[in-house]
Structure 1
């Protein structure tokens, strides 16, 4: 009997090597390389020649097109994120932190589809059937005709699904618990996750049912297992939010049948997840209208306009290096805004700690929030509250120019619907958006924004604006000049004599 070859696979990135090593050369992780026996799959025995392939028919690009058939689950926020419902024959990957509500949302979607007359199968690899029933009882879903199973073998699952009526939706919770006989490794390894996911995706394409795979999340916030699984599926959904909070955000980061970066907002209650149809009212529900450092940003998440409050706190520091803490925004983007304010507007943050927070637990990724962040920072530093009935949007470049953003009319329409009366937008879009009834204030340079807030601050504005920076530089120059004239440079000798005299005396002594 021929000896089966062994290979060494990194459990972090999936890189394959011929020998074991303590550190993976591909990703740099330590102690992540595990020995796995190379089974070769079906027909992969030693000395076996590859079979001759069949001729695949080639068709022209031009031809009749059909829209993908969808199944609406009855939860509008979930249907929005998936692009209008689950596509038949597609595979979805849902990831999120432990306890965030992935299983709760999926059991609610399964119950809604089953009540609508669709065949739904829920397979749990982490919980027993009794535990799933306890969750369904707490959510009031025991009357839904959902078929349950607790199994981790891929071969047993596929054999069960092939018997009887084909289901419309299959939920696998989770993909890291599955194992297949084709691979001789432990469940949860890179090879097992990749092979098991490939088998379930192949079943979805051949049978026409929708397969939803639940994935664990690593400490870095990415779905555990090889990244190739995210490329194999048709859609990747992430559940965001604080497990201790009430609100959850379902975000689509990949969707072959719909828009990406679409979000759905849910609220965790005692009866499960409740959808929030108007997230702008949620994010602005408890804001303080008269506190400095708060600016309302008119953002865009996918095709949905969202208004969210940006909170900033600028406080004097007692440390040698000021702190920069960010929640819900890019920390490198904050460093860039601080540098632009200091270089082009004369606003000094070197002796202050800066804290930035996006209210409501939402994470903002688009650069249109630059102008709102800058306004909140300057407002907190000056101690002046911004107009509570004003929204802000615009991108800031390294030269201090405020650049236009996409879908400005949609942002203004959402702000006007919620009762806002004015908006601060880039100068390049002020003439294009005159159709709105809102009062528009256009800004071409970030220095104009600082000047407006400094004028509202009165005498305090001189301490943080361009004038303060000029006065500081002028005073420093006078002090430096006085010190040079009185005591000479830092290298001067006693009584102000230059150090060069000592060198001349040393030169004469040597002669």
Structure 2
């Protein structure tokens, strides 16, 4: 009998190594390689001569009824899920420790239960008494949610198979233990096997499953990336500890749009929905000062206005600081290079600090022009008009590229009292939402019109 071949798998990127080493050659992470037995019995194995059943094939013109959805009663959660909870779906929720994942899912469980669903909440990290105390503090004690504290996955699946709930919440998948896998809970093997068993159970029994996943120091869900491919929906719960805002972001959704966000506010009574996040992000905005620019962005299908803050100060270091919060540091370096190469404005010898107010994170390139405006405003000590919003993508040639959904951005800005907008030429703005629109072709014209002889 052939001896099973042992593999060494990196928990950060999933690459396979022949032997253990302290550093992964593929992703460069340290202390992420762990020993794991292969899933197959050994080399040379095949399916043999036994045939399987024939598959039923359909064509692209076939029509199927879309999966039914169950509303949670929380509009922000339904938005991120694509309209509601789909039966027999598997959802993975990740987030930093203490950000409010358990609070969010407990409120979601109570809300689904009040809408008539049978919900079971299984905690592998807390006792049922702790979950019950949190429910009483949040005013959810009257919801008909069944609780259990267990880590043995065999016992959990047996209970779920007997109860047949509509929704099962597992908090968290890293604490689950499968007795057929010879490794400790939280290891790559255990996480992968537990996720596979739970997703398979959801599909076979028609039970929607929500899994909580721990995250690494880089903010990615811990464990092999294959777990994210197993599930139907991957949600990240984001936010800064110093801010009361919490953002539930969809990065994968087989039943709805990805990159959709739901905004919540952390209060003493739990997470409260924020139907108008733009007003909340700008509510604490002080008197407009140099370096402050309002960006009209799009998150998923929702227009969101946020404040971009920049600070430029003389540096005493040989290499000035470049500190960024809520945006890509590489894109900041690109914009600084374009400003110097195309407009002749240098930031050499200057420390540059960039912050997205409210703990928001922005990834779309439409924020390039707003960031450039904030940097120039801080450097020249000239404030942008308080009733003006800015958006546009910046190319390496210094030209401004049109962005999508410009009309929706302008409508949202108009709704919040803004009357001016600076945008690239060629944007489909419709009637401009009744705003005074300044269309710019390139960065040189923008600098000349807004900041004069900068």
Please give the TM-score of this superposition, normalised by the length of structure 2: 0.95
Q: Secondary structure at the match of 1:202?
A: helix
Residue in structure 1 matched with residue 77 of structure 2 by the alignment = 78
> Alignment partner for residue 423 of structure 2, among 422, 425, 430?
425
Shift of 1:396: 0.9
Unaligned runs of 5+ in 2: none
Distance 2:21 2:336 in 1: 44
For the aligned residue pairs, the C-alpha RMSD in angstroms reads 2.1
Q: After superposition, what is the alpha-carbon deviation per residue over 1:326-369, rounded to whole angstroms, capped at 9, x for unaligned?
A: 11111111111111111111212112111111111111111111
Shift of 1:182: 2.3
Residue in structure 2 matched with residue 235 of structure 1 by the alignment = 233
Residue in structure 2 matched with residue 111 of structure 1 by the alignment = 110
8 Å Cα contact 2:410-2:432 kept in structure 1: no
Q: After superposition, what is the alpha-carbon deviation per residue over 1:283-327, rounded to whole angstroms, capped at 9, x for unaligned?
A: 111212331111111100000000111111111222222111111
Q: After superposition, what is the alpha-carbon deviation per residue over 1:359-408, rounded to whole angstroms, capped at 9, x for unaligned?
A: 11111111111111111111111111111001111111111111100000
Residue in structure 2 matched with residue 442 of structure 1 by the alignment = 439
Distance 2:378 2:279 in 1: 24
8 Å Cα contact 1:6-1:36 kept in structure 2: no
The structure-2 alpha-carbon separation of the partners of 1:22 and 1:280, relative to structure 1 and needing over 3 Å to count, comes to: closer
Distance 1:414 1:383 in 2: 28
Residue in structure 2 matched with residue 262 of structure 1 by the alignment = 260
Q: Secondary structure at the match of 1:264?
A: strand
Distance 1:4 1:73 in 2: 51
Shift of 1:25: 4.0
User: Within the alignment, does 1:356 sit opposite 2:334 as a pair?
Assistant: no
Residues 16-95 of structure 1: matches in 2 within 5 Å? 16-37=16-37, 50=48, 51-95=50-94
> Alignment partner for residue 208 of structure 2, among 205, 210, 216?
210
Shift of 1:54: 2.3
The structure-2 alpha-carbon separation of the partners of 1:392 and 1:47, relative to structure 1 and needing over 3 Å to count, comes to: closer
Residue in structure 2 matched with residue 295 of structure 1 by the alignment = 293
Residue in structure 1 matched with residue 391 of structure 2 by the alignment = 393
Q: Secondary structure at the match of 2:353?
A: strand
Residues 35-434 of structure 1: matches in 2 within 5 Å? 35-37=35-37, 50=48, 51-164=50-163, 166-429=164-427, 432-434=429-431
Shift of 1:83: 0.6
8 Å Cα contact 1:39-1:183 kept in structure 2: no
8 Å Cα contact 1:11-1:225 kept in structure 2: no
Distance 1:47 1:254 in 2: 35
Distance 2:21 2:322 in 1: 39
* Residue range with higher mean Cα deviation, 23-32 or 62-71: 23-32
Shift of 1:3: 7.9
Distance 2:162 2:78 in 1: 29
Q: After superposition, what is the alpha-carbon deviation per residue over 1:256-296, rounded to whole angstroms, capped at 9, x for unaligned?
A: 11011111111111111011110001111121233111111
Residue in structure 2 matched with residue 458 of structure 1 by the alignment = none
Q: After superposition, what is the alpha-carbon deviation per residue over 1:485-508, rounded to whole angstroms, capped at 9, x for unaligned?
A: xxxxxxxxxxxxxxxxxxxxxxxx
Which protein shows a greater Rg? 1
8 Å Cα contact 2:7-2:38 kept in structure 1: no
8 Å Cα contact 2:95-2:237 kept in structure 1: yes
Shift of 1:34: 3.3
8 Å Cα contact 2:404-2:427 kept in structure 1: no
Distance 1:120 1:397 in 2: 50
* Residue range with higher mean Cα deviation, 102-111 or 14-23: 14-23
* Residue range with higher mean Cα deviation, 315-324 or 170-179: 315-324
The structure-2 alpha-carbon separation of the partners of 1:3 and 1:182, relative to structure 1 and needing over 3 Å to count, comes to: farther
Distance 2:258 2:408 in 1: 18
* Residue range with higher mean Cα deviation, 8-17 or 101-110: 8-17
The structure-2 alpha-carbon separation of the partners of 1:29 and 1:203, relative to structure 1 and needing over 3 Å to count, comes to: same
Please give the TM-score of this superposition, normalised by the length of structure 1: 0.84
Unaligned runs of 5+ in 1: 456-460, 466-511
Distance 2:9 2:272 in 1: 40
The aligned length equals 452
Shift of 1:36: 3.8
8 Å Cα contact 1:283-1:307 kept in structure 2: yes
